[in-house]
Amino acid sequence: MKKCTLIVALIVVSLVCPSNVLAEDDGAKLRQLEAKVKMLESTLEDRDATIATLETQVQEGQERIAALTAILEDAGVSEETLAEATDEAATICPVVRVIDGDTIVVSIDDEDVTVRLIGVDTPETKHPNKPVQAFGKEASAFTTNLLAGETVRLVIDPQQGETDRYGRALAYVYREPDGLFVNAELVRQGYGHAYTKYPFKYMADFQALELAARTAERGLWVAEDDDTSEQSQETPTAAPQDAPPPTEEVAPETATEQEAVTVYVTRTGTKYHRGSCSYLRQSKIATTLSDARASYGPCSRCKPPR
């Protein structure tokens, strides 16, 4: 608009004032005015280019937001979950080491603090009275790969409290600086299941992530040997964080001892189990160890006497 106004002004001056009336000073002013018009044209071109660039960036940003929103919806995770790390007061600290899939040690004020991840339970690898559970080493390695040498942001959940009965800090763990929600990532990738014994803020989100992992058969949800039918129905559970260490059974050696030992089978499976095995939730048929050994194999998860 300014450009058009200046040009019109030049035309009017040239029509109203004959050339023989214009003094040399007027001619110089006219040339200066023409130079300013050219500068204005260049400025307008730069402005248009800047606006076009900004419009492109805004469009790309909107497309990225739409794509991320779609991923969240598919995974069943609310946007509020990912905003947790920046919306609430948190403690930022370096990771000292990873104990297992759902427990890490961080340094806070130059002191080592053991942190139990809220809402996720991974198979045991460091239980004092239990063997390493199936997929426990993989879960531990996965957490190590995510957090070794990293800095994390810890956020507490008022529903859980700050510590458990063993004095471990309870927290949501976010990796810095990318904000990866480690608790949720373990469930999403199938390295642990949603630990729902105690309520927590994102329970519904974690249950949705677990269902998606089970459907896709990721991680510990991959069918193993002949336990496929049982695994498709049951949720394998690691030892609860507040449970006392279980006593380990000693395998019987004689036929008489085997007759005295009770194990359990299911209607559809081909393995026998300990009475506490998570695969027995829908069916649990008692039998002797000697009878079970004749037709069934031992469960690879609960590891009953052989």
Active site residues: 116, 124, 168
From CA 254, how far away is CA 80, in angstroms rounded? 59
Q: Cα–Cα distance between 126 and 278 in angstroms, integer?
A: 20
Residue by residue, what is the 3-state secondary structure of the chain?
Answer: CHHHHHHHHHHHHHHHCCCCCCCHHHHHHHHHHHHHHHHHHHHHHHHHHHHHHHHHHHHHHHHHHHHHHHHHHHHCCCHHHHHHHHHCCCEEEEEEEEEECCEEEEEECCEEEEEEECCEECCCCCCCCCCCCCCHHHHHHHHHHHHCCCEEEEECECCCECECCCCCEEEEEEEECCCEEHHHHHHHCCCCEECCCCCCCCHHHHHHHHHHHHHHCCHHHCCCHHHHHHHCCCCCCCCCCCCCCCCCCCCCCCHHHHHHCEEEECCCCCEEECCCCHHHCCCCEEEEHHHHHHHCEECCCCCCCC
